[in-house]
Amino acid sequence: MQKLAAVVLGSLVALAGLASCGGPGREPDSGAGAGAAGKGKRVKIGVTVPTADHGWTGGVVWWTQKAIRDWQARDANVEFLFKTAADAAAMAAVVEDFIVQDIDALVILPHDASVTPVVKEAYAKGIFTVVVDRGLTEKAYDVYIAGDNPGLGRVSGEWLASAMGGSGKMVVLEGMPVPINTERVQAFEAVIARYPGIEILDSQPAYWSTQKGMEIMENYLQKYPHIDAVFAQDDDVLKGALQAYAESGRTDVKWFMGGAGSKDIIKIIMDGSDPRLQADVTYHPNMAASAVSVGVHGARGEGLPEFYQNTPPRDDHPGRGADHARERRALLRTRVRVLADSRELRGAAASAPGCGANHA
């Protein structure tokens, strides 16, 4: 299948006892530590992620299910409980149910930080806990896996500041009020602060929602008579902002920038069909698949020999030459990081590249 999005460069930090990651272009192999042929310790893994309410979470669900299928195909001693949750209350109920069912590991992408108490409860019971992406208000996990959110904000700010020539007026549409959004926004604002000629007119949370993005952009367009650039942070939000702008009939905005590498936005950039869209920042959802593997190995007290961020990076579209790619787009890369602090596994590091779109 053709991959239309930009590439993520993966940089994973794992813990003591790590074997090297799988080679470029390989699926994670079973190996001695993976419980091949059903010989590993029998474990039960509870996995919960948000419902696919926008493109990136759709990718998270897909990659999570892929990792579960991969493990089920090669290891009969791993049992998975997998549920998505539409909101934080539903997710908390899912985790409580997992605890009752005596899971050995919990893998969770929090709907928001309000699920911290129930995750803390699981962690306190000795359940190996892997938290993905959005973070908690307290450290209640063995391993935390997330993209380089400060990097996403930083490279976005650098690209827009350069495109604007260091001057102009911009508006920002944020994500939802969670720690990773704060990291992105603070890093972005720190870059823009170096350019006194650029003014951020407004910055509001759009909750990674197309509808919310459209509503906020409509408000911005009514409130501000001139806008040079729009930073939407997420491609679904960007689509809403673009729709509101198109319906306004205005022609002042010169640059729009989203994030997370959705296929349709990347295709526009690569085709050069909209000169206002020239760059995007990737944020690969396959971190969720890696989290599933981390949960299995952690529950077994093993090292962490495999991750899904292991495909060689590419920055040219299949069938198009490198010159075309350089001329027609500027796809930015942000690193994937794993921050880990485990009771069972301590301190080693490994890295591997990764790539892809919001969806497989």
The CATH number of residue 61's host domain is: 3.40.50.2300
Which amino acid is present at 174?
E
Residues 113, 215: one domain? Answer: no
Instruction: Say yes or no: 226 and 236 in one domain.
Output: yes
Q: Is residue 321 one of the residues assigned to a domain?
A: no
Each residue's pLDDT tens digit in the chain (360 positions)?
A: 222 222 222 223 232 222 222 322 334 433 333 444 455 799 999 999 999 877 788 889 999 999 999 999 999 999 999 999 999 999 999 999 999 999 999 999 999 889 999 999 999 999 999 999 888 989 999 888 888 888 889 989 999 999 999 999 999 999 988 888 999 999 999 999 999 999 999 999 999 899 999 999 999 999 999 999 999 999 999 999 999 999 999 999 999 999 887 888 888 888 889 999 988 888 888 889 989 999 999 999 887 655 665 443 333 333 333 443 333 334 444 454 433 343 332 332 232 223 333 433
Q: Specify the residue for token string 């779109």.
A: 357
Same domain, 140 and 289: yes
Q: Is residue 275 domain-shared with residue 301, that is, in the same domain?
A: no
In a domain, 134, yes or no: yes
Question: Does pTM surpass 0.75?
Answer: no
Instruction: Please give the DSSP secondary-structure letter assigned to residue 318.
Output: T
- 115 lies in the same domain as 229: no
Residue span of the structural domain in which 128 resides = 9-147+284-314+336-349
| The pLDDT of residue 308 | 64
Q: Is the residue at 57 inside a domain?
A: yes
For residues 213 and 307, state if they share a domain: no
Flag whether 22 is in a domain. Answer: yes
What is the number of structural domains in the chain? 2
Closest by alpha carbon to 208, among 178, 228, 183, 186?
178
Residues 24 and 131 in one domain: yes
In sequence order, the β-bridge partners of residue 83 are: 48
Note whether residue 165 is domain-resident.
Answer: yes
Asked if 79 and 68 touch (Cβ cutoff 8 Å), the reply is: no
Shared-domain flag, residues 90 and 126:
yes
Tell me: do 161 and 274 sit in the same domain: yes
Residues 75 and 159 in one domain: no
1 in a structural domain: no
Beta strands in the chain (DSSP E): 9-10, 13-14, 43-50, 78-85, 105-108, 128-132, 143-147, 168-174, 198-205, 229-231, 255-257, 279-281, 330-332, 335-340, 348-349
**Residue 198 maps to a domain:** yes
**Same domain flag for 129 and 219:** no
Q: Are residues 300 and 240 in the same domain?
A: no
pLDDT at 305: 57
* 323, part of any domain: no
CB 6 within 8 A of CB 283: no
- List, in order, residues 6 or more apart from 146 with CB less than 8 Å away: 132, 133, 134, 135, 180, 287, 336, 337, 338, 339
